[in-house]
């Protein structure tokens, strides 16, 4: 049972029972409301033929959702053992590892750092596994350098705005730039509520809307909860 004097935290994504248990143990009253809905696209014969015809193209992933879309057709592809795969961060790389693909990851986990890595090791062609909502950072790299590339849309993100009283929370947590855009499309913060970002990309996006941004030390929910507790009780 939550204590009445607990700090009230809003997460803009769904949480697990484990997250709620941990939050309760450290004195946080949690509430979760998803601000985005993600649908994984089914890749079929057209994508298989494209990947086979561009067998030397290096692959780029900026989301675990794209990996989940590829996974069902991967067994139908013949890949060179030295085939290069890039991931924007550790979480995406871990998802790739689950399906047998080892990814190269930039030291800083964002699209700009990935582009800097690609600039040092330019390939003849690329396949970019993306979503319907994305930044132009990677595509601009392709076009500005006259590089051949194909883009496969692997998932669709829809913005949703549930009805909530956002002024009833002591901190608001964001786990993706898309959720940030969705939230601020409907709501405006009347007081300087700290906004907690799960990682660099989310932190940068939050700065478009507020100065009160705190970034989690690690890119996971438990670290965000610890940051909330430390920040609000400091």
**Per residue in 184-232, pLDDT tens?**
999 999 889 999 999 888 999 999 999 999 999 998 999 999 999 999 9
**214 and 150: one domain?**
no
Is the separation of the CB atoms in 152 and 47 below 8 Å?
A: yes
**53 and 100: one domain?**
yes
Sheet holding 171-174, edge to edge: 28-32, 7-11, 171-174, 195-197, 213-215
User: What is the distance between the alpha carbons of residues 88 and 91, in angstroms, rounded to a whole number?
Assistant: 9
**46 and 127: one domain?**
yes
**74 and 113: one domain?**
yes
Q: Is this prediction's pTM over 0.75? A: yes
31-45, 107-121, 175-189: which range is least confident on average?
Answer: 107-121
**17 and 98: one domain?**
no
Residue 1 has pLDDT above 50, yes or no: no
**Pairing mode, strands 171-174 and 7-11:** parallel
Q: How confident is the model at residue 2, as a pLDDT?
A: 38
Q: How confident is the model at residue 168, as a pLDDT?
A: 94
Q: How confident is the model at residue 17, as a pLDDT?
A: 98
User: In total, how many domains does the chain have?
Assistant: 2
Q: Indicate the pLDDT class of residue 3, thresholds 50, 70 and 90.
A: very low
Structural domain boundaries enclosing 193: 7-35+160-232
- Domain assignment present for residue 60? The answer is yes
**177 and 146: one domain?**
no
- Domain assignment present for residue 1? The answer is no
Q: Which residues pair with 39 in a beta bridge?
A: 156
CA distances from 62 to 15, 162, 167 (A): 22, 27, 33
**102 and 207: one domain?**
no
Mean confidence (pLDDT) of the chain: 94
**226 and 194: one domain?**
yes
> What is the mean pLDDT of the segment spanning 122-129?
96
**13 and 51: one domain?**
no
Per-residue pLDDT reduced to its tens digit, 65-118: 999 999 999 999 998 888 999 999 899 999 999 999 999 999 988 899 999 999
Q: Indicate the pLDDT class of residue 5, thresholds 50, 70 and 90.
A: low
**79 and 147: one domain?**
yes
Q: How confident is the model at residue 109, as a pLDDT?
A: 82
Q: Indicate the pLDDT class of residue 44, thresholds 50, 70 and 90.
A: very high
**68 and 167: one domain?**
no
Tell me the CATH number at 119: 3.40.50.10090
Q: Indicate the pLDDT class of residue 4, thresholds 50, 70 and 90.
A: very low
Q: How confident is the model at residue 76, as a pLDDT?
A: 94
> What is the mean pLDDT of the segment spanning 10-39?
98
Listed residues 137, 157, 177: the one ending a domain:
157
Q: How confident is the model at residue 34, as a pLDDT?
A: 98
- Domain assignment present for residue 20? The answer is yes
């Amino acid at each position: 049972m939550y204590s009445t004097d607990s700090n009230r935290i809003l997460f803009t994504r769904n949480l697990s029972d484990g997250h709620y248990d941990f939050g309760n143990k450290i004195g946080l009253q949690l509430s979760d409301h998803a601000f985005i809905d993600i649908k994984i696209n089914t890749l079929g014969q057209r994508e298989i033929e494209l990947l086979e015809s561009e067998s030397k193209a290096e692959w780029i992933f900026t989301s675990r959702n794209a990996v989940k879309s590829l996974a069902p057709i991967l067994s139908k592809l013949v890949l060179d053992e030295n085939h290069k795969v890039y991931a924007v961060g550790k979480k995406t790389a871990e998802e790739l590892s689950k399906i047998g693909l080892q990814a190269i990851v930039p030291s800083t986990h964002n699209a700009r750092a990935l582009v800097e890595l690609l600039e040092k090791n330019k390939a003849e062609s690329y396949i970019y596994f993306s979503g319907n909502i994305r930044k132009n950072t990677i595509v601009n790299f392709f076009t500005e350098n006259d590089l051949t590339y194909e883009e496969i849309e692997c998932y669709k993100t829809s913005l949703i705005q549930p009805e909530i009283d956002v002024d009833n929370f002591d901190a608001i947590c964001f786990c993706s730039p898309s959720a940030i855009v969705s939230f601020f499309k409907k709501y405006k913060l009347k007081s300087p509520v700290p906004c907690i970002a799960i990682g660099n990309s989310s932190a940068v996006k939050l700065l478009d809307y507020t100065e009160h941004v705190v970034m989690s030390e690690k890119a996971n929910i438990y670290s965000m909860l610890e940051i909330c507790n430390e920040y609000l009780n400091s």
